[in-house]
Amino acid sequence: MLNIAVSIGEIFWSLAHRRPRVPRLQTARWAPLCGSGHSEWSQVAVSSLSQQRAWDASRWPQWRTELDHLGNHLLFQQVPMVEIDGMKLVQTRSILHYIADKHHLFGKDLKERTLIDMYVEGTLDLLELLIMHPFLKPDDQQKEVANMAQKAIIRYFPVFEKVLRGHGQRFLVGNQLSLADIILLQTILALEEKIPNILSAFPHLQEYTVKISNIPTIKKFLEPGSKKKPPPDDIYVRTVYNIFMP
């Protein structure tokens, strides 16, 4: 199986309306590997969108050269790598945790942090199915859409619907945006691209998605022409296979 880091980061710069401007990050990533999507979402939320180069399939020789230059900075020979605060961070979850802690997206105490971490880990299980979907054989892709829908509707969404119904607040944990909100929003929007009515049985999640999507900087990020990466296409998939299985 391809070793593809889940992507979360595209949202951390979206808290610009609430937080002082933070230093811009340098992110080393291999675009076809979904290396920094989660961290980009997370950066949207704290207004620290990294300086990322728009690498495409035609620039593969340049990618190879730039990755070779990274040398020992990629501790496990994997991307993403984020340079921040004098450190070179690798591993998606470590990057996410650092950014979330730095910008107060990990709750106000141990209890909230644990809830956030629990919700994130559960949501990532579902999101990882979406990330792998483009790499399935065409005959298997539709079956997997049905599988993802079933898991979302039976296993995952009822959890968050109950949480939101139970406390009646705007966010999943506490009274401010957290990493759990960012990952859940990313997952819902990705699922809606494949299954537009996926939230039809979850009124609280529908309302929640609208509210989080309308946070001004997140709303701007979701608009056409933003830095948000498009869904993987056939060129993306062929490029990944050409890299790992030439």
Q: What is the pLDDT of residues 112-131, one digit of tens each?
A: 999 999 999 999 999 889 88
* pLDDT at position 35: 40
Class of domain 11-102+223-244: alpha beta
pTM here is 0.75
Euclidean distance between CA atoms 74 and 40, whole angstroms? 19
pLDDT at 126: 93
Interval 106-116 mean pLDDT: 95
Of the chain, the percentage scoring pLDDT greater than 70 comes to 68
Residue ranges per domain, the chain? Answer: 11-102+223-244, 105-215
Instruction: Give me the pLDDT at residue 184, please.
Output: 96
Average pLDDT over residues 152-174: 96
Torsion of CA 234, 239, 240, 245, to 10 degrees: 120
Rounded average pLDDT over 85-89 = 86
- Are 122 and 156 in contact by the 8 Å Cβ rule? The answer is yes
pLDDT at 189 over 60: yes
- Amino acid identity for residue 23 in this structure: P
Strand partners, 51: 26
Domain boundaries 105-215, CATH class:
mainly alpha
* 38-77 per-position pLDDT tens digit: 555 555 544 444 444 443 445 555 656 666 666 667 777 6
Under the banding of pLDDT at 50, 70 and 90, the label for residue 82 is: confident
CA dist 22 to 120, 182, 207, Å?
Answer: 24, 19, 30
Q: What average pLDDT does this structure show over 21-28?
A: 42
